[in-house]
Amino acid sequence: MDKVDVIVIGAGVVGLAIAAEVTEKYPQACIALFDKEQQFGWHTSSRNSEVIHAGMYYPTNSLKAKVCVEGKDMLYRFCDQYSIPYQRIGKLIIARESSEIPHIEEIARQGELNGLNDLVLLEQADVAKREPHIKAVAAIHSPSTGIIDSHKLMAKLEQKFNAGENNFIAYRHEVTNVSYNGNEYEVTFKGPDGNTDQLACTWLINAAGLWADKVGEWLGLETEKHGSKIYWVKGEYFGISASKSKLLNHLVYPPPLKALKGLGIHVTKSLDGRARLGPSAFYVDQINYDVDDSHGDEFYMAAKSYLPFLERDDIASDMSGVRPKLQSPSDPVKDFIIRHEVDNNLPGFINLVGIESPGLTGSLAIGRMAAAWVLL
């Protein structure tokens, strides 16, 4: 069996960031990057809000808080260095009525605990100056929240990976099994012709997104016990018409839902100025990216509570993505798993599971963290 130094499973933003970082650390290494799809970012990494989050929601000392706060700064620097389009558009977390003010103040306090020092509490008149068309009695303004062209980010990371002269990418190659023989990992994969083959490696990096729990299972981890079983939580978006999109200047979020199942139906904007509502959050047992038109009323009702100018005809179904969550519907919020599984007798296995939001924001920080374990 042929052998390489490192195999990365998954060419989403996380796998690409790790692969690029290991390449920078070891330019002579031989690294193989596998993805079952024809191109990078086919799943969650191209089906999200493209928001560079500031990091105020996540529990103190969680990996989510750490990689978000560190990753945001790294991402802005990376964008400047490589001319990746982005905009520090800023975000308002609004209180629609005074009873919601303690909730948004609590979010601001959590943000400060997470190391943010730029959050400002705006009174009604100041909110009106920034967003004259929305209904809010107060808001937290986060000036460092931004939006990014995630496709260009991934293209740059892929290019950095390809700069490693011994590296190669195998798109349309699905990893179907992995085993560990006490010395190296043996990876079985199926190519586009349907034939299977094997490749060994010293370091195995699992960045398989929605299917990342399978990789652990192949290696004998009992995912329920280990806490790495993935639940799929779909989020749909409805687009706002161009004429009404122009009435919004920031990303606008109502207070988040309990247990961070989702952030509530909020407004995001893309770099071309289009505003969208969403994503919603509901558990699914199949991956299917269709958007159910009949959900439009629910979006409309949720948004109308703070976008009084909106009419039902102003919104239309747009796109969807699926979150790889570690929490079942009855669980409290769970953190990312980013681990070198040496304690589970799998030295060399770097396991990333449950990388939902803020995984795009945190991608470069996750890349740095994972690459630090790799020693060649």
Ligand X SMILES: Cc1cc2nc3c(=O)[nH]c(=O)nc-3n(C[C@H](O)[C@H](O)[C@H](O)COP(=O)(O)OP(=O)(O)OC[C@H]3O[C@@H](n4cnc5c(N)ncnc54)[C@H](O)[C@@H]3O)c2cc1C
Residues in contact with ligand X by the rule CB under 6 A: 9-15, 34-37, 41-45, 47-51, 53, 174-175, 207-211, 235, 279, 321-323, 355-361
Least Å distance between CB 126 and ligand X? 25
Distance in angstroms (rounded) separating the CA atoms of residues 8 and 3: 13
Residue closer to ligand X by CB (options 139, 319) is 319
283 pairs with which residues across the strands?
233
Residue type, 247: L
Nearest of 210, 165, 173, 218 to residue 33 by alpha carbon: 173
Least Å distance between CB 146 and ligand X? 10
Nearest of 88, 86, 90 to residue 122 by alpha carbon: 90
Residue closer to ligand X by CB (options 239, 279) is 279
Distance in angstroms (rounded) separating the CA atoms of residues 118 and 182: 49
Residue closer to ligand X by CB (options 47, 141) is 47
- The backbone torsions φ and ψ at residue 314, rounded to the nearest 5 degrees and listed phi first, read -80, -10
Residue written as token pair 């967003």 = 131
- 251 neighbors 92 (Cβ within 8 angstroms): yes
Least Å distance between CB 116 and ligand X? 15
How far apart are the two ends of the chain, measured CA to CA in Å? 20
Least Å distance between CB 248 and ligand X? 16
Residue closer to ligand X by CB (options 134, 215) is 215
Residue closer to ligand X by CB (options 209, 239) is 209
Least Å distance between CB 215 and ligand X? 7
Residue closer to ligand X by CB (options 36, 261) is 36
138 pairs with which residues across the strands?
95, 123
Least Å distance between CB 357 and ligand X? 4
Residue closer to ligand X by CB (options 74, 138) is 74
Helices 150-162, 63-82: axis angle to 10 degrees equals 80
Least Å distance between CB 137 and ligand X? 26
- 30 neighbors 166 (Cβ within 8 angstroms): yes
Least Å distance between CB 347 and ligand X? 22
- 123 neighbors 130 (Cβ within 8 angstroms): no
Query: Where are the strands (E) in 119-218, listed by range?
Result: 120-123, 138-142, 146-148, 168-171, 174-180, 185-190, 196-206
Residue closer to ligand X by CB (options 51, 260) is 51
